[in-house]
Structure 1
């Protein structure tokens, strides 16, 4: 997980808040539509055992890499405090089989993980406005490329997400945004050719930093 980048962005947000004190800003309000453009780190957390199709242990575990890509978030404010957000972006991940003396890439795959969340904004009239949210996501795996003789099929599916973030108003309707989501998602992956399967617990942290504009 790229926590150093996220920490640096947090420091930058505080600095921007200090610089912005003398500038006018528009508070959040009912009916606003906010567009956030962010740099996002998607960091899967799970390492699940790989077994045979019959369930026997292989001594290997499945591990998915992280990726950093741009994402877009669109938020609509139903009231000054309550809003809904949808985010879209796509990331590329390597799936490896790891074990004693083994570090073997078995698949490269793209993932489209849109997340829809309902948010509560604590201080919409303030320059520094934190929020929390909860929602659902769908993991769609596409354009996969198998590696080293494997033929791994990963099942798409739904997950849930928790969210926390802060908007730091800059000038006018511009703001700096820091956002952290924890997605809870697991699925199954099967390789019928090699006779192995694994539960895939991704449970990624989705850490973002970027700029927003309200219409």
Structure 2
């Protein structure tokens, strides 16, 4: 009896899965889930106006953050789609490290900022539209908007004033996958690499301090999607 029930269950799954149709031309897909921006920052040496030179060995740093991620996609064909990445604002601590000798007290958290990285991509799905498993790859363009930049009170007490990060345009690439749980509901996972370059500026003792930063984060998202 157990063998018969198991065989019947497997047969039912085999029959049902092909009918969980994947993406077709004209489909609108909305995905939501947890998204993490993990900066892989590389910065230039920090230029200090009071010294009129770079301070060798100094760096700026940014930490990672997780927010609510949103994807909106439109299928142009059963294999090609266009997608917009959105999210609630990410918040990152801005740090300074490597300041030597009498400037060592400047190391640590300098301030924080918020950013939004809307990204428009073209996606390619190689699998047949009848497959429940739908891996994809994509490439596109990113605009990162930095806003609400502010120093910590400790940094202001040390003589810093003002903080500004330039917005960035760059390319983006991603891989991901959808797995259809039904005709409309899916689970999704995706990994992106985004080219983000910015210049951070503040002042110390009335003199400009600036640093160029290649943020270049890996972006991870896991969530659910619904096809209309």
- For normalisation by structure 2, the TM-score amounts to 0.80
Separation (CA, whole Å) in 2 of partners of 1:32 and 1:181:
23
Larger Rg: 2
Confirm or deny that 1:122 pairs with 2:126.
yes
Match of 1:79 among 77, 80, 94: 77
Map of 1:12 onto structure 2: none
Whether the 8 Å CA contact 1:106–1:152 is kept in 2: the answer is: no
Q: 1:81 to 1:55 in 2, by over 3 A?
A: farther
Confirm or deny that 1:186 pairs with 2:197.
yes
Map of 1:68 onto structure 2: 66
Q: CA deviation at 1:133?
A: 0.5
CA RMSD of superposed structures (Å): 1.8
- For normalisation by structure 1, the TM-score amounts to 0.85
Match of 1:137 among 142, 154, 163: 142
Whether the 8 Å CA contact 1:52–1:58 is kept in 2: the answer is: no
SS at match of 1:181: strand
Map of 2:222 onto structure 1: 209
Whether the 8 Å CA contact 2:26–2:76 is kept in 1: the answer is: yes
Map of 1:165 onto structure 2: 176
Confirm or deny that 1:93 pairs with 2:113.
no
Match of 2:22 among 7, 23, 27: 27
Aligned residues: 196
Q: CA deviation at 1:194?
A: 4.5
Map of 1:198 onto structure 2: 211
| CA displacement 1:128-162 (0-9 Å, x = unmatched) | 11100001111111122212123221111211101
Gaps of 5+ in 1: 1-19
SS at match of 1:152: strand
SS at match of 1:142: strand
Whether the 8 Å CA contact 2:22–2:134 is kept in 1: the answer is: no
SS at match of 2:58: strand
Whether the 8 Å CA contact 2:200–2:212 is kept in 1: the answer is: yes
